[in-house]
């Protein structure tokens, strides 16, 4: 039987390679968890924004796990880089809007024109920022509505952050009749 002959000749080599690949994956996964845990603790200790901490931890975890999987399978990365480049171009053209939102989300997280809790006017919406993710920003309007604004829309326009300064100037126009007493009008306005 050819299968039995192949197993008797190559079975031990194949079993050893499988055991090594599984061991590399298990140990690599443990090391990735350890590294991402250390990064999270370091960023939290440095009082980095939780949104940026989560983003950096997830990106690091994904890249390290891809490296572990490739290493455990014994895949050479040189040829894979060319394949990933071509696939990335095709996916980039297909997901142009999503990539725009992703890029804007990364820029918002890095440059921090606003943070969670700020009252802003961005993307045509005024509201309190309740969450910033990679693809969109969640805002609560003064009417208590939750609006999810794509980050491409937020980052591509003007952002007005009303919460940065402690005080704000408000211009009010009040009409006073020519017949009214100006002293009484001023006292009434200042009260």
What does the pLDDT look like over 54-87, one tens digit per residue? 877 888 888 778 777 777 777 665 665 666 667 6
Q: What is the DSSP letter of 113?
A: S
CA distance 25 to 35: 15
CA distance 76 to 120: 48
CA distance 130 to 27: 38
DSSP string, 33-95: HHHHHHHHHHHHHTT--HHHHHHHHHHHHHHHHHHHHHHHHT--HHHHHHHHHHHHHHHHHHT
pLDDT, tens digit, 9 for 90 and up, residues 145-187: 999 999 999 988 899 999 988 888 888 888 888 888 888 888 8
């Amino acid at each position: 039987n050819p299968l039995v002959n192949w197993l008797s000749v190559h079975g031990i080599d194949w079993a050893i390679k499988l055991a090594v690949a599984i061991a590399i994956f298990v140990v690599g996964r443990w090391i990735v968890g350890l590294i991402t845990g250390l990064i999270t603790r370091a960023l939290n200790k440095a009082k980095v924004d939780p949104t940026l901490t989560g983003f950096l931890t997830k990106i690091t975890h994904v890249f390290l796990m891809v490296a572990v999987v490739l290493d455990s399978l014994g895949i050479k990365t040189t040829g894979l880089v060319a394949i990933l480049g071509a696939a990335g171009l095709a996916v980039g053209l297909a997901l142009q809007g999503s990539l725009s939102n992703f890029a804007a989300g990364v820029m918002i997280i890095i440059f921090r024109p606003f943070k969670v809790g700020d009252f802003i006017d961005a993307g045509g919406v005024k509201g309190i920022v309740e969450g910033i993710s990679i693809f969109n920003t969640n805002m609560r309007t003064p009417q208590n509505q939750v609006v999810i604004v794509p980050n491409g829309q937020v980052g591509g326009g003007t952002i007005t952050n009303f919460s940065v300064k402690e005080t704000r100037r408000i211009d009010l126009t009040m009409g006073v009749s020519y017949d009214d007493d100006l002293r009484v009008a001023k006292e009434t306005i200042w009260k």
